[in-house]
Amino acid sequence: MELLLGALILGLAYAPLGLGVFITMRVFNFPDITADGSLTFGAAITAALLVAGVNPWLAIAASVAGGFAAGSLTGVIHTRLRVNGLLSGILVMTALYSINLRTMGRSNVPLLTTTTALTQLERPLGALGMSMPDSTLPPLLLFGTIALLLVWGLAWFFRTDFGLTMRATGDNETMITAQGVNTNAMKIIGIGLSNALIALSGSLVAQYQGYADIGMGVGIVVFGLASVIIGDTLAGVFGSGFNVWTRLVCVIAGTILFRVIVAAALSVGLAPADLKIVTACFVLVAILLPRTRSILRTRGT
Amino acid sequence: MIRIESLTATFGADIPNRVTALHDITLDISEREFVVVIGSNGSGKSTLLNVLAGTVQPERGRVLIGNTDATRLRAHDRAHLVGRVFQNPFSGTAPTMTVAENLRLAELRGVPKGLRRRLDARRIDGYRGHVAELGMGLEDRMGTPIGLLSGGQRQALTLLMATLRRPEILLLDEHTAALDPESAEQVLLLTDRLIERHRLTAVMVTHDMNEAARFGNRLLMMNAGRIVLDAAGAEKQALTPGGLLARFAELRAAAAHGH
Ligand SMILES: Nc1ncnc2c1ncn2[C@@H]1O[C@H](COP(=O)(O)OP(=O)(O)OP(=O)(O)O)[C@@H](O)[C@H]1O
Ligand SMILES: [Mg+2]
């Protein structure tokens, strides 16, 4: 139960990451490695500002802005300077490593004694007579609310005229250019939006875990992708692969489920060191599975 | 009105075997002209349309569309002037988006797309009327992702999208070539009807001499980046598929002679 609750909270904290990866991978079909750096960037900005005594909500906003800047930089390098998409992400991710170290001043910043958004929530919740053991209520409520707001906001956004344009940019550039859209600008905004969400996750996770660490973003794209793939599978089960609402909700469910699976695997003895290779293999198999299935089918007929 | 002035377009300007796809072309297309363009492979037909659409930048010359000097306008900056249907049925629509969503984007061709949800039931009903006129039974499938439709259905919808907001010029590059004969005929008749109805100015590239003789009120034949035949009015009406093929044979013989 305790394990499940922890996984649920962590899943919700990583929900913005899942949504961010969904935007680059599923909307734009753009494998964006910037995420590894921008998640840490979000955590680093929050950590530095919290240690300096800045209001936690302002720190979260600054992290989101920083993530957007990092993502749109990748977009500019890719579209305006015409650098290969993967390489653009790798360049920004690598540059962010230095920026993150500079922002934090060292490789690990503990936040256990500083005021965070979570400690700020504790008192009003306590005054209302609401509490749960190990102060799990503030993160559960905060991260859950953020996840819900994001799903609602993105579902709305992707149905606005601007949001339709963004989806069409990922779908068919020839078509949307013919409708008068500057696809470069759309990609820059889209990748920026994705990384803003990913940096938000970094900020939330740092506050929840009580530290920001230079290595916390390593391999995070693959974790996000695993969540998106689990979400896609769920969406497929519900049989509405194209409905934006369902897909976004399924991404959130995917991130939570992914964390539950990870927690379960660790508790039955998976060494934390092996987590990344196992996740990478999972993603590889998930990508190959539909392909082998269709190969088998064509061979069968 | 469209005006092309001493237009030259070159590919691979910086490599030894550069190709001049258009040689100093000057062309006026008046309001409501339906121009059919024929010519052998590589004669520059697509390049002509791409220069008009802005996806190819000319090396020299000017392009005027309506009252706008479009020479330096990028494709997305002149989209309000141009409606396009491509040869590949996959090119004209966003496959994972619904019929209604595609039409909404087409309705906004060349105008800013805001942060507002405007695709409501009333608007979809409006589109449904237009879609019903295609006569393909697609009016009940407004919520279907367009990628699930057939090539012919997609081409018909692309045509509707290109004309939903009246363009100064409609560009059709072999837009029925990838379709089966029946769908091709259906889309061609639809093309003719929409051009007539909206009183459009249009340029259509085709490889089919029958189509070239049947449709349009002006015909251009291109060869090696030049316009070698320009027939309008009664002269165009008098053209036959056989006559056009004979002209092609003449050109080929002349080229062989030249070598
Ligand atoms: N993007 C490009 N890069 C290099 N050369 C090109 C490019 N596009 C066209 N060309 C060349 O320009 C010339 C004209 O090509 P274009 O596509 O306009 O011919 P076309 O008349 O449309 O032929 P088709 O009937 O085969 O479609 C050809 O020699 C072609 O090889
Ligand atoms: Mg062509």
Residues 230-259 of A with CB under 8 A from B: 242
ipTM, interface predicted TM-score of the complex: 0.93
- Shortest Cα distance, chain A CAs vs residue B117, angstroms: 4
Nearest ligand to the C-alpha of residue B56? 1
What is the SS3 string spanning A53-110? CCCHHHHHHHHHHHHHHHHHHHHHHHHCCCCCHHHHHHHHHHHHHHHHHHHHCCCEEE
**A161 and B77: CB-CB below 8 Å?**
no
- Shortest Cα distance, chain A CAs vs residue B65, angstroms: 16
Q: Which of B113, B155, B168 to mutate to test the interface with A (most CBs of A within 10 A)?
A: B113
The size of chain A, in residues, is 301
Q: What whole-number distance in Å separates Cα of residue B129 and Cα of residue B184?
A: 23
Please give the number of the atom of ligand 1 that sits closest to the Cα of B9.
12
| Phi, psi of A113, rounded to the nearest 5 degrees | -105, -5
pLDDT in tens, A116-175: 999 999 888 888 877 777 788 999 999 999 999 999 999 999 999 999 999 999 999 999
Average pLDDT over every residue of B93-105: 96
**A179 and B105: CB-CB below 8 Å?**
yes
Scanning every residue of chain B, which has its alpha carbon at the shortest distance from the alpha carbon of A174? Answer: B91
| Phi, psi of B119, rounded to the nearest 5 degrees | -90, 80
List the single residue in A168, A174, A180 with the smallest CB-CB distance to B80. Answer: A180
Amino acid sitting at position B220: L
| Dist. CA A257 → ligand 1 center (Å) | 52
Does residue B212 register a pLDDT over 90? Answer: yes
| Secondary structure element (H or E) that encloses residue A117, with its range | helix A117-127
Average pLDDT over every residue of B68-89: 96
The whole-chain average pLDDT of chain B stands at 94
- For domain B2-96+150-256, the CATH architecture is 3-Layer(aba) Sandwich (3.40)
The finding on whether B12 has its CB within 6 A of some atom of ligand 1 is yes
pLDDT in tens, A38-97: 999 999 999 999 999 999 999 999 999 999 999 999 999 999 999 999 999 999 999 999
Q: How confident is the model at residue A297 (pLDDT cuts 50, 70, 90)?
A: low
